C-alpha cells in the first residue's frame, strides 16, 4: 500500500548553493575535531535498532514473509557519522563559532521570512569510495513534543510521510556542505520540484560548497563516489567504524572488530558537514514550542497512525512495544510508504564530473 502524496514533498523555498560555507580556519578546526574524536560508527548503527526501522525511514517495501537482516541493508563501504552538537550544545568548544553561526542563523531566518532561529543538530558524515547513497530520501524532521532526542527517527519520518501531523511539524533549514578532493562522482542529487520534477545536481570537486534547503521536505541523496575498484569494503557489518589511519598521512581506514577492512587515502574521503536550525516565525510560535502548550505525544501519534492504517485496510494487533516491534514497524512502513523519485541521474563510473 502506498500513498500518492509524494508531490507534496517540496522545500518551503527554493534551495540555493553557497561557496566557502566555512572559512579555512573553521575547516581546519572541523577536520581536526573529526580526526581526533573518532572512531565514528555507521549512520545505520547510530540511528536504527533494526533493518525494519531503516526501511520505514528511507522508504521501500518488504516482501511478505521476508525477515530482513543487516547484510541486506549494508551496501558499499558505508557512511559513518559523528555529532558535533545537539540540542543547542556544542560538544567541542573550539567549534562554537561554527555551531552558533550568526551567518547561518541569518540565512535560516531569511529562508523562512521568520523572526527567530536556533541552531539544532550539527554533524558530520564521512565516507570513502562507495556506491550511490541509497534511494533518494528525506531527512528526519521533528515535531513539537517529539524530537530526535526522545523519538526514534523511523517514527519521525513515518509521521512526516503520513502528512497527519503538519500542525505540529517544526520549521527547519539546513546548510549541507562537502569537502571532497576526488573528481569521480561524490556530488549531490536533489529534487527541489518534487519527486516527479527534474533532479538537480551539484558536482565534485566540492571543497566548501554547500546547499541551503529544507531537507525534510526535499528528496535527495549522495552520488556514487570514487574509483569503482574501491567502492566496496569486504567484511563490513553493523559494528564497523571509520578511524584515522596512522600509517597514511591524512588517510582513514574502516575497521570491524579490530580487523582493517579498507585503507583510504585522504583524497578519496568525502566529508559532509551538516548544520541545521529550527525556525520560529514570531514570538508566539517560539513560545508555543518552548512552553509546550501544544505538543504531540507518542501515544497520540501512534494512535493516529494506527487509526489511519486501519482505515487504509491494514490488519494488525496493537503491539505491546510499538517503538521497537519489528513487524509493526514494517507494517507502518508499507502503509505510509511514499513514492520517491525514479528519475535518478546515471551513475558516474571512472569519468570525472565537471567542476
Question: Going edge to edge, which strands form the sheet with 40-41?
Answer: 40-41, 241-244, 252-256, 259-264
What pLDDT shows up at residue 2? 44
Report the C-alpha gap between 90 and 100 in whole angstroms.
8
Q: Cell digits for 100?
A: 552558533
pTM of the model: 0.92
- Report the alpha-carbon angle 242-246-249, nearest 5: 100
What pLDDT shows up at residue 111? 98
Q: Cell digits for 221?
A: 541523496
Over the Cα atoms of the chain, what is R_g?
20
CATH architecture of 2-337: Sandwich (2.60)
What pLDDT shows up at residue 348? 59
- DSSP-assigned letters across all residues of 208-272: SEEEEE-GGGSEEEEPPBS-GGGS--TT--TT-EEEE-TTSTT-EEEEETTEEEEEE-GGG-EEE
Mean pLDDT per segment of 10 residues, for the chain of length 355 residues?
Answer: 73 96 98 96 91 80 75 80 95 98 98 98 95 85 95 95 97 97 90 94 89 96 91 90 94 95 94 98 97 97 98 95 94 92 77 44
What pLDDT shows up at residue 349? 57
Report the C-alpha gap between 110 and 305 in whole angstroms.
34
Q: Cell digits for 289?
A: 514550542
What pLDDT shows up at residue 71? 81
Pure H helices in the chain: 24-36, 43-47, 51-58, 70-73, 96-99, 102-112, 153-162, 283-290, 298-311, 326-335
Which residue from 27, 70, 18, 19 is spatially nearest to 49, judged by alpha carbons? 70
Amino acid at each position: 500500500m502506498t500513498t500518492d502524496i509524494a508531490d507534496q514533498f517540496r522545500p518551503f523555498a527554493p534551495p540555493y548553493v553557497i561557496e566557502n560555507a566555512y572559512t579555512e580556519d573553521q575547516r581546519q578546526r572541523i577536520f581536526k575535531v573529526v580526526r581526533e574524536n573518532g572512531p565514528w560508527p555507521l549512520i545505520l548503527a547510530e540511528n536504527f535498532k533494526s533493518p525494519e526501522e531503516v526501511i520505514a525511514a528511507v522508504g521501500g517495501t518488504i516482501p511478505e514473509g521476508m525477515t530482513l537482516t543487516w547484510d541486506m541493508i549494508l551496501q558499499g563501504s558505508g557512511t559513518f557519522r559523528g555529532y558535533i552538537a545537539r540540542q543547542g550544545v556544542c560538544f567541542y568548544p573550539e567549534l562554537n563559532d561554527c555551531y552558533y553561526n550568526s551567518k547561518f542563523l541569518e540565512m535560516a531566518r531569511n529562508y523562512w521570512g521568520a523572526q527567530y532561529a536556533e541552531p539544532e543538530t550539527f554533524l558530520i558524515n564521512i565516507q570513502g569510495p562507495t556506491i550511490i547513497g541509497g534511494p533518494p530520501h528525506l531527512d528526519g524532521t521533528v515535531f513539537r513534543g517529539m524530537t530526535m532526542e526522545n523519538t526514534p527517527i523511523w517514527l519521525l519520518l513515518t509521521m512526516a510521510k503520513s502528512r497527519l501531523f503538519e500542525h505540529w511539524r517544526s520549521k527547519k533549514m539546513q546548510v549541507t556542505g562537502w569537502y571532497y578532493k576526488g573528481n569521480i562522482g561524490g556530488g549531490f542529487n536533489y529534487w527541489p520540484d518534487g519527486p516527479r520534477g527534474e533532479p538537480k545536481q551539484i558536482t565534485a570537486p566540492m571543497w566548501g560548497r554547500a546547499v541551503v534547503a529544507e531537507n525534510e521536505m526535499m528528496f535527495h541523496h549522495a552520488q556514487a563516489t570514487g574509483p569503482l575498484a574501491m567502492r566496496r569494503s569486504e567484511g563490513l557489518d553493523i559494528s564497523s567504524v571509520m578511524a584515522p589511519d596512522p600509517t597514511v598521512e591524512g588517510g582513514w581506514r574502516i575497521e570491524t572488530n579490530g580487523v582493517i577492512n579498507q585503507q583510504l587515502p585522504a583524497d578519496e574521503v568525502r566529508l559532509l558537514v551538516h548544520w541545521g536550525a529550527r525556525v520560529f516565525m514570531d514570538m508566539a510560535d517560539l513560545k508555543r514550542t518552548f512552553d509546550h502548550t501544544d505538543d504531540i505525544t507518542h501515544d497520540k501519534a501512534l494512535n493516529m497512525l494506527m487509526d489511519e492504517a486501519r482505515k487504509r485496510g491494514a490488519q494488525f494487533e496493537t503491539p505491546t512495544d510499538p517503538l521497537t516491534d519489528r513487524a509493526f514497524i514494517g507494517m507502518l512502513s508499507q502503509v505510509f510508504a511514499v513514492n520517491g523519485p525514479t528519475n535518478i541521474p546515471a551513475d558516474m563510473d571512472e569519468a570525472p564530473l565537471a567542476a
